[in-house]
Amino acid sequence: MRIALITQYFNVIGGIESLLRGLIPEYERRGHETDVIVTREEAAAGTTVALGDKTRELFLPLHTYQAPARWALMYLPDTLRLANYLRKAKIDVAHSHLFDWSLLPQVVAACEITRTPLVHTWHSDTDFNSRARRLMVRVLRSADALTGVSAATRHGFDRILPAAKDALVISNGIDVEAAQKAAPYQHGRPYIFCACRLTLPDKAVDALITSFGAIAESHPNVDLLIAGEGPSRDAISRHISSLGLDRRVKLLGKADAAQIRSFNRGALFFAMPSRIVEGQPVALLEALAAGRAAIGTNIGGVPEVISHGENGLLVEKDDLPALTDALTTLLDNPGLSEAMGRRGLLRAREQYEISRTAERYLELYKLVRARRKLPSSAPKSADSPA
């Protein structure tokens, strides 16, 4: 089977990108070929991603919605370019991981032109305006299958998309054994670790730094390391300096999967507060796989990953005192943190192993391909693989 994975970014730190990088070798091991279709040119910059012998990466730009007339002029060439590739590459199934709703019409149209089965996965709940909601509902009714990375994500779309009631929940996945085999990063001092895209409207990195500053004096031997890049890097750097934390808080920049594993393995614990409704942050799964307790925000699908007091701690959105208390609790109780880490590792092995995620997607691909071969008068079954 030849699978097209359609994404906005690939060579950057982010949950979707981490998931795809994990799925590709799993697909290859099972004899499948994969094309990674990237729709954002800036994805060409960043860390180098090693692709297997049966995987190709290519850039096919898709334009986002602007004014109706201007968009129509760009929509058709985008659609035809993508359709031409799907046809020439003999793609058996397309799997969209796009989070920008205005890119979906081109993908759906290209798949309809070429009769390519389309699976779309939602990675987060989104507050759509009415125009976006109407377009999204109309477009996704044409998808052969919908999935969400968490129950919270699927529930979010139940409100606006009737077809979402039949959507599967297929969790994100990580390579747990690779995480366990990683050599711990040698920083020279104990540290708390965070990894995310540096976008302050989405990730509350500034709140994490502020809370760390509140406990920095009482914990003088601990640092905070943050991996990632993004448009808010300069603002975050200024915030660090304004608190006098330049020697204690380090922005590590871009990091590949191996480096993330190493940072996690060397950390005391992981912390990543959010401001958006997260679907299922892969960064939290990576921390669990490394055997580290995690601090996250009680929002979206995060509570499905972190059980408060069991494998980590949950705080409410933008609750600085609670975030400060969570950092203090884990720093002052290393035995508690280690026990949470062990329970988190057990959960990662039981629920989030990438091989399990890959198998579930492959089962779904086979199902939608079989449906496409049914006579046009035959109804589509609502049954989905468990």
Average of per-residue pLDDT across 133-162:
80
* Position 2 pLDDT exceeds 80: yes
In angstroms, the CA 217 to CA 368 distance is 57
Host domain of residue 241: 176-351
Over residues 135-159, mean pLDDT: 82
Tokens 């190709």 sit on residue:
56
The DSSP H or E segment spanning 122 is strand 118-122
- Most confident among 58-62, 166-170, 171-175, 368-372 (mean pLDDT): 171-175
Which residues have CB under 8 Å from 155's CB, separation 6+? none
Q: Does residue 384 sit within a domain?
A: no
| Residues of the chain above pLDDT 90, percent | 67
Flag whether pLDDT at 129 surpasses 70.
Answer: no
pLDDT at 30: 95
- Residue 381 pLDDT grade (very low, low, confident, very high; cuts 50, 70, 90): very low
Compute the average pLDDT of residues 219-242.
96
User: For the residues 244-256, what does the mean pLDDT come to?
Assistant: 95
Residue 69 has pLDDT above 70, yes or no: no
**What single DSSP character describes residue 382?**
-
* Whether residue 161 is found in the same domain as residue 238: no
Are 209 and 335 within one domain? yes
Amino acid at 254: K
Same domain, residue pair 7 and 46: yes
- Kind and range of the H or E run holding 33: strand 33-38
- Taking only the tens place, the pLDDT of each residue in 200-217 is 989 999 999 999 999 999
pLDDT at res. 65: 58
Residue of 264, 273, 330, 280 whose CA lies nearest to 296: 273
Strand order in the sheet with 294-297: 249-253, 223-227, 191-195, 269-271, 294-297, 312-315
Q: Which residue from 62, 70, 55 is spatially nearest to 109, judged by alpha carbons? A: 62
- Distance between CA atoms of 296 and 287, rounded to whole angstroms? 11
Same domain for 165 and 63?
yes
Residue 327 lies in a domain: yes
Asked if residue 364 has pLDDT above 70, the reply is yes
CA angle 113, 43, 193 (to 5 degrees): 130
- 363 and 255 in a single domain? The answer is no
Note the pLDDT tens digit of each residue in 334-362. 999 999 999 999 999 999 999 999 999 99
Q: Counting beta carbons within 10 angstroms of the beta carbon of residue 255, is it exposed (0 to 12), middle (13 to 18) or buried (19 or more)?
A: middle
For the chain, the domain total comes to: 2
CA distances for 194 relative to 122, 143, 251, 379, angstroms:
24, 36, 10, 48
Tell whether the model's pLDDT for residue 386 goes beyond 50. Answer: no
- Which residue did the predictor score with more confidence, 269 or 230? 269
For residue 45, the model assigns a pLDDT of: 43
Cα 38 from Cα 345, distance rounded (Å): 32
The answer to whether residue 385 sits within a structural domain is: no
Least confident of 29-43, 63-77, 165-179, 300-314: 63-77
- Do 149 and 231 belong to one domain? no
Task: Name the one residue in this structure whose structure tokens are 């972190």.
Answer: 306
124: DSSP letter: B
> What is the spatial distance between Cα 150 and Cα 303, in angstroms, rounded to a whole number?
10
CA atoms within 13 A on the CB side of 127: 5
| Domain co-membership, 101 together with 194 | no
What residue type is assigned to position 199 of the chain? T
Helix (H) / strand (E) element for 18: namely helix 15-29
pLDDT (0 to 100) of residue 12: 66
Considering the domain architecture, whether residues 257 and 158 belong to the same structural domain is answered as: no
Same domain, 331 and 192: yes
- Model confidence over 287-334: pLDDT tens digits? 999 999 999 999 999 999 999 999 999 999 999 999 999 999 999 999
CATH of the domain at 16: 3.40.50.2000
Contact in structure between 84 and 110 (CB atoms under 8 Å): no
Rounded mean pLDDT of 55-69? 73
Mean pLDDT to the nearest integer, 3-10:
91
| CA contacts within 13 A on the Cβ side of 266 | 21
pLDDT of 49 strictly over 70: no
Residue 229 resides in a domain? yes
pLDDT for 139: 73
378: in domain: no
48 in the same domain as 152: yes
> Pick the residue with more confidence: 167 or 161?
167
Q: Is residue 156 part of a domain?
A: yes
Across the range 72-90, mean pLDDT stands at: 88
Phi, psi of 274 (to 5 degrees): -125, 160
Annotate 295-335 with DSSP letters as a single string: EEESSTTHHHHPPBTTTEEEE-TT-HHHHHHHHHHHHH-HH
pLDDT recorded at residue 73: 65
Are residues 193 and 160 part of one domain?
no
Note the pLDDT of residue 196: 92
User: Residue 54: its pLDDT value, please?
Assistant: 80
- The pLDDT of residue 248: 98
Q: For the chain, what percent of residues have pLDDT higher than 70? A: 88
Residue 375: band (very low, low, confident or very high) from pLDDT cuts 50, 70, 90:
low
Phi, psi of 230 (to 5 degrees): 165, 175
> Considering only CA atoms, which of 357, 354, 369, 381 is closest in space to residue 1?
369
- DSSP alpha helix (H) spans, 191-319: 205-216, 233-242, 257-266, 282-289, 302-305
In a domain, 98, yes or no: yes
Contact 94, 4 (CB under 8 A): yes
Q: Tell me, yes or no, whether 124 and 209 share the same domain.
A: no
**DSSP at 233:** H
Residue 260, in any domain of the structure: yes
**How far apart are the C-alpha atoms of 36 and 59, rounded to whole Å?**
8
Assess whether pLDDT exceeds 50 at residue 385: no
Q: What is the pLDDT of residue 50?
A: 62
